[in-house]
């Protein structure tokens, strides 16, 4: 049986270790301006993705750019946005649902509004539909630039989305899955 002082000491060490691990995990993920917003109500004539017969499919995607302001302080980030896919296949009315930093959210909104889609269909006819799209960001410099003076990125350096199936840490231009809610 463990004595009370020994149990207290073990608990204290466990709490310190947990705090240290949590601090290490938060140092390089997300920024200091994490945000979460309520999903705006559907506009008239826009269907929820669950209400359509055929869901929209992205045909042209643009990755979100890694925010230059975060290059010195963040390695990874993510954002979740909602966007309306119009019956003509264009994206509009994107808004941030949540993001590790407002800058990731803004980048995701700017990117997704450039995307093109095969529109959703209801009873065989194209309709406006709202979907949820996740974005994953990876610092193009990795952790080498953390707490270093900011220098401009070369114009041809790949920036943007780290896809869930890519564990290499290298930004990718592969399509990423769309989450439907």
Whether residue 13 has pLDDT greater than 70: no
The DSSP line for 126-167 is EEEEEEEEEEEEE-TTTTTTTTS---PPPTTS--SBPPTT--
Instruction: Convert the pLDDT of each residue in 46-59 to its tens digit.
Output: 999 999 999 999 99
What's the token pair of residue 157?
């350096």
Distance separating alpha carbons of residues 65 and 98, to the nearest angstrom: 17
Contacts with 108 (C-beta within 8 Å, 6 or more apart), sequence order = 64, 79, 80, 81, 94, 96, 99, 133, 135
| Closest to 139 (Cα-Cα) out of 101, 111, 165, 112 | 101
The Cα–Cα gap between 135 and 177 comes to 9
Task: Round the average pLDDT of the chain to a whole number and report it.
Answer: 76
Please tell us whether the domain made up of 31-138 is placed in CATH 3.30.2420.10. yes
- pLDDT surpassing 50 at residue 27: no
Least confident of 26-35, 74-83, 137-146: 26-35
């Amino acid at each position: 049986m463990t004595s009370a002082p020994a149990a207290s000491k073990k608990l204290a060490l466990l709490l310190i270790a947990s705090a240290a691990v949590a601090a290490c995990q938060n140092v390089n993920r997300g920024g200091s301006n994490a945000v979460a917003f309520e999903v705006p109500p559907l506009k008239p004539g826009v269907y929820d993705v669950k209400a359509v017969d055929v869901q929209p499919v992205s045909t042209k995607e643009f990755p979100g750019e890694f925010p230059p302001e975060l290059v010195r302080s963040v390695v990874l980030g993510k954002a979740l946005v909602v966007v309306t896919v119009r019956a003509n296949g264009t994206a509009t009315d994107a808004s941030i649902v949540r993001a590790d930093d407002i800058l990731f959210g803004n980048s995701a909104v700017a990117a997704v509004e450039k995307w093109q889609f095969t529109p959703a269909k209801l009873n065989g006819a194209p309709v406006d539909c709202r979907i949820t799209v996740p974005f994953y960001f990876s610092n193009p410099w990795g952790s080498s630039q953390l707490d270093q003076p900011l220098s401009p990125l070369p114009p041809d350096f790949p920036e943007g989305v780290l896809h869930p199936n890519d564990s290499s840490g290298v930004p990718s231009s592969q399509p990423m899955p769309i989450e439907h809610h």
